[in-house]
Structure 1
Amino acid sequence: MAIEKVKEYFKQYGMADKILEFSESSATVELAAQALHCEPQRIAKTLSFHLGDSVILIVVAGDAKIDNRKYKEQFGVKAKMLDFNEVEALIGHVVGGVCPFAVNKEVEIYLDVSLKRFETVFPACGSGNSAIELTIDELEKYSRFLQWIDCCKGWNEL
C-alpha cells in the first residue's frame, strides 16, 4: 500500500510518527478538513497532470483551482489532468491519497504559491484516510519539489 511507502519514506527523516491516520475518509478537501478540524484552505491537495510524455504533481491550497491561462504560461501546454484510472500506475498513489512523497521516480513536483500564506499545511500520505502536518519549509524539504509556481486562481480573489 502507498501509505506504507510514505511511512517508510518519512522514517529516514524521523518523521513517520507524525503521519495521521483516520477512521474516516480524508480523500477530499472537505473530508480532510473535517477529519483534521482545520480550515479547508490548509489542506494541501496534490493534483496530477500529463506534461508531454511526463507526469507532474502540483501541490496547491485547498481553496485554489488551476488557472488554465497561468498553467499554459508556466508549462507551454494546456492543462490535462490524469484520468482516475491512470493515477496509481503513473504516480504511485491512489486518488484521494496522492501526495508529493514517495512517488514514482520520474514524477516532477511543483508547489503553488497559494500555500505560502500558511505556517502549516496538511498533505495526504498515500491513502484516502491519512495526512501529515508540515510547515512550508518542511513541505519544501520532504517533497523534493522542483520550484514554486503560480498557476492557480480562486484563493486570493475577493
Structure 2
Amino acid sequence: MSKGTRATEALAKLGVKFTLHAYDYDPDADSIGLQAAEALGVAPKRMLKTLMAEVDGKPVCAVVPSDCEVSMKKLASAFGGKSAKMMRPSDAERLTGYHVGGISPFGQKKRVPAAIEQAALTEGSVFVNGGQRGLQIELAPDDAVKATAAIVRPLVA
C-alpha cells in the first residue's frame, strides 16, 4: 500500500504533523468508519468520516464522528442553505478524485467548502481518511480544521 497520497502530500505541504495508520479495509462492512475504528482500536468518536453532500445544489464536505449520522438540516444551516442531501457516490468520486471508502477531506481534486463536527475538537487527536482505502491519518483536530479551512458547527443528529 502506498503511503503517499494527495491527502498526505497536502498535509506535508502545509507543515501539519500527522501519523499514518494502515488497516485491513473491509469493503463489505456496514460502516466503513466503524470498521476502521475497530480495526485500529480507536474510539468511534475519534474516527471521523468524510461525507460529500450538496447544500442547495452546491458541493460541500462534512466531517463527522463515525458513530454519528449527519443531520441534513444542521448541515444546510451550517452553510447558510435551505436544504442538504448526500452526493451520489459517482459524483463524490469524480469531484474528489478519491474512491468511496477512501475519500479524504485533504487534497481533494476540487476544493469545496468543508465543515467539521464541533464535538471532534474536544479530542486530543482524531483520525481522518488518508486518501485510500485502509489508510487513516491521525492528527490534531485543530490541524484538520486549518488544513481544510473548515467551519466548525454542530452537524450530527
The answer to whether TM tops 0.5 is: yes
Does residue 89 in structure 1 map to residue 94 in structure 2? Answer: yes
Aligned alpha-carbon RMSD (Å) = 2.5
Partner of 2:85: 80
Counterpart for residue 154 of structure 2 = 150
Alignment of 1:74-153 (within 5 A): 74=78, 75-145=80-150, 147-153=151-157
Q: Given that residues 123 and 141 in structure 2 are in contact (C-alpha distance below 8 angstroms), is that contact kept between their aligned partners in structure 1?
A: yes
Q: Which AA in structure 2 matches 1:25?
A: Y
Whether the 8 Å contact between 1:8 and 1:16 is mirrored in structure 2 is no
Instruction: State the AA in 2 paired with 1:93.
Output: Y
Give the 3 Å change call, closer, same or farther, for CA 151–4 of structure 1 in structure 2: closer
Shift of 1:71: 3.0
Deviation at 1:51, TM superposition (A): 2.4
Residue 104 of structure 2 aligns to a residue in which SS?
coil
CA distance in 2, matches of 1:44, 1:63: 9
Q: Secondary structure at the match of 2:49?
A: strand
Say how many residue pairs are matched: 151
Corresponding residue for residue 25 of structure 2: 25
AA in 2 matched with 1:66:
V
CA-CA distance at 1:44 after TM superposition: 0.9
CA contact (8 A) 2:55 2:81 kept: no
What stretches of structure 2 of length at least 5 have no aligned partner? none
SS in 2 for 1:65: coil
Read off the aligned partner of 2:20 and give its amino acid letter: I
Alpha-carbon distance, 1:148 to partner: 0.9
The worse-fitting range, judged by mean Cα deviation, of 4-13 and 87-96 is 4-13
Residue 47 of structure 1 and its aligned partner are, at CA, apart by: 0.9
Higher mean C-alpha displacement, 70-79 vs 80-89: 70-79
CA distance in structure 2 between the partners assigned to 1:69 and 1:81 by the alignment:
12
Using the aligned pairs only, state the percent identity.
25
Residue aligning to 2:48: 44
2:45 match: secondary structure = helix
Gaps of 5+ in 1: 154-158
Question: In the TM superposition, what is the alpha-carbon distance from 1:144 to its structure 2 partner?
Answer: 2.6
